[in-house]
Structure 1
Amino acid sequence: MKTVLITGASSGIGAGLAKSFSADGYHVIACGRDPARLEALHQTCPNLTVRLFDMTDRDACRQALTGSYADLIILCAGTCEYLDGGVVDAALVERVMNTNFLGPVNCLEALQPQLVRGNRVVLVSSMAHWLTFPRAEAYGASKAALSWFAESLRLDWEPKGITVTVVSPGFVDTPLTRKNDFAMPGRVTVDEAVKAIRIGLAAGKMHIAFPAGFGFILRLLSGLPAFLQRTLLRRMVRS
């Protein structure tokens, strides 16, 4: 039986992936911070092991993950907070960076001694760093850092036979995005996100981005002159 380790398994994409892989006969190591949600997940997925820890705590990661082996590692725990009115809040930025960037790094540090040729590591980033959105200074920076780290790590781990994949979703209907106070074009369901990720992994893709339509729009916007980008992105966030 193959093993998949998933962070952020308490809800959203992580929980959806845990259910999907469990249904396909994988042993799932479900990691998160919410004991009630993880226990509820365990009740529906008998071939699932719960690991309760805070990935922003380096020592906690070591204690929870050292010695753990998984054929597939999916790091998708994340958070989102916005800076309002351009007021820089260092504590807010630190919280977001700790969860979205340093958290996955902590997990990888703890897991790397067990990695062997043929393993795959998946880091869930976001399309948010493809363009600079208003209010998204912390979130966009954290996902840009994660993507850069993953792309660089791929170059170092590829000779060892360890594959690194970056997943860049657009808006996904999760408890996190439901807090947003703006329109979210192209928003997909968790089931649709899980399907896109599983199809991409089965195809051996190094980069999985969805939904395609929203991604195309962002790529198109990135080719426009800077002043047009700023105007359109401000309108997009306000609408």
Structure 2
Amino acid sequence: MGYFTDKNIYITGAASGIGFETAKQLIHQGANLVLFDVQPLDAALAILKGLNKYNTSIATYALDVTDADTTAKQIAAAAERLSPDILMHFVGVTGPWAFDEMTQAQFERVMNINVFGTRNVLAAVRPFLSRGDQVMVTASMSSFTGSYGYSSYSASKFAVWGMMQSISFEWKPLGIDITVFAPPPIDTPLTQSEVGVMAQAGIGMKKLAGELKIEAAVRSMLKGVENREFLVVPGVMANLIRLQLRFFPISWVNWIGNKTVAWSMRS
């Protein structure tokens, strides 16, 4: 039927947003799903069961990725029943606060979930990965460029990018392929939570990359995993920004950013 048919796919952050949309698209392709989230998965499970025309396996597990010991135990319990072919990690939080307005606790929460949480999931699943298996981790366009109001979020996503590139060098010789999904803003509960919190200057800078529909973004990500691509950046504007970062001097990039902030503040 397709690349993902009969594959055992672990999805973190599966209760909503990109994780849930990924689960919906994969269930249509006949994949076996193992879903993790700190939020209740009952509603997601009910919908997925209604879409499960191939009668594939769907299992759910509660998971707080910031707890390394519990994460290891939950993933080990899942692997006893169904060993992973592909891990897709979507857990993450935003941090739409200007640095001068952000508390220590807010900064640490973003780092704990986005960086240490990613590390905990990868460490937990590693004993169950073998040659031919894959790992997809969600980064962001903020992995490559800073933005007004994103000092915590960009710091975390820069760290994820560096971590995954390093891990790829270590795991690729073992036959385990890494994909990093680095989208621009996507219309999800995560981005919706920024409404009324992020400063206008931050909103103005985010608009430079455009906003993607979640269905199209997930389709691009799945195609990248199928092709075993290391980096997937969906969207025309996001790719133009990526090219700009590669070929233009940082002074030019910062000039555009500063002009955007100034224009946003005036408007």
Give, in angstroms, the shift of residue 204 of structure 1.
2.1
* Equivalent of 2:235 in 200, 208, 211: 211
Distance apart, 1:176 and its partner CA: 1.1
Conserved 8 A contact 1:6-1:18: yes
Deviations 1:170-212 (A, max 9, x none): 0101011113343543211110111111121222211100113
Q: Which structure 2 residues correspond to residues 21-100 of structure 1 after superposition, within 5 A? A: 21-35=26-40, 36-46=42-52, 47-66=57-76, 68=79, 69-84=83-98, 86-100=100-114
Q: Deviations over 1:91-136 (max 9, x none)?
A: 1111001111111111111111111000001110000132221110
Q: How does 1:149-228 map to 2 (within 5 A)?
A: 149-181=163-195, 182=203, 184-185=206-207, 186-220=210-244, 223-224=248-249, 225=251, 228=255
Q: Cα deviation per residue 1:127-172 (whole Å; 9 max; x = unaligned)?
A: 0132221110110010110110000000011111111111100010
- Closer/same/farther in 2, CA of residues 190 and 62 from structure 1, 3 Å limit: same
Shift of 1:30: 1.0
Larger deviation: 227-236 or 108-117?
A: 227-236
Q: Give, in whole Å, the separation in 2 of the partners of 1:3 and 1:125.
A: 22
What letter is aligned with 2:30?
G
Identify which range, 49-58 or 213-222, moves more after superposition: 213-222
Instruction: Specify every segment of 5 or more residues in structure 1 that has no aligned partner in the other structure, as ranges.
Output: none
Which of the pair has more CA radius of gyration?
2
Distance 2:50 2:262 in 1: 43
Identity %: 26
Which secondary structure does the structure 2 equivalent of 1:210 belong to?
coil
1:234 Cα deviation after fit: 1.9
CA contact under 8 A between 2:141 and 2:238: conserved in structure 1? no
Rounded to whole Å, the distance in 1 between the matches of 2:239 and 2:161 is: 16
CA distance, structure 2, for counterparts of residue 25 and residue 236 of structure 1: 48
- Aligned counterparts of 1:13 and 1:171: Cα–Cα separation in 2: 11
1:17-45 CA distances to partner (integer Å, 9 max, x unpaired)? 11111111110111111214444444435
Q: Output the amino acid matched with 1:48.
A: I
Provide the secondary structure at the position in 2 that maps to 1:19: helix
Contact 1:170 1:211 in 2 (8 A): yes
Q: Tell me the distance in 2 between the aligned counterparts of 1:233 and 1:37.
A: 41
Cα 1:60–1:173 change in 2 (3 A) is same
Query: After the TM superposition, which segments of 4 or more aligned residues of structure 1 sit over 6 Å from their partners?
Result: none
Q: TM-score normalized by structure 2? A: 0.82
2:33, 2:103 → 1: CA distance?
A: 37
> CA distance change for structure 1 residues 85 and 139 in 2, over 3 Å: closer, same or farther?
closer
Structure 2 alignment gaps of length 5 or more: 1-5, 196-202
In the alignment of these two chains, the number of paired residues is 239
3-state SS of paired residue (1:176)? helix
> TM-score if structure 1 supplies the norm length?
0.91
How many angstroms apart in 1 are the aligned matches of 2:155 and 2:130?
31
- After the TM superposition, which residues 127-138 of structure 1 pair with which residues of structure 2 at under 5 Å, given as runs? 127-138=141-152
The CA distance in 2 between the partners of 1:45 and 1:77, in whole Å, is 23
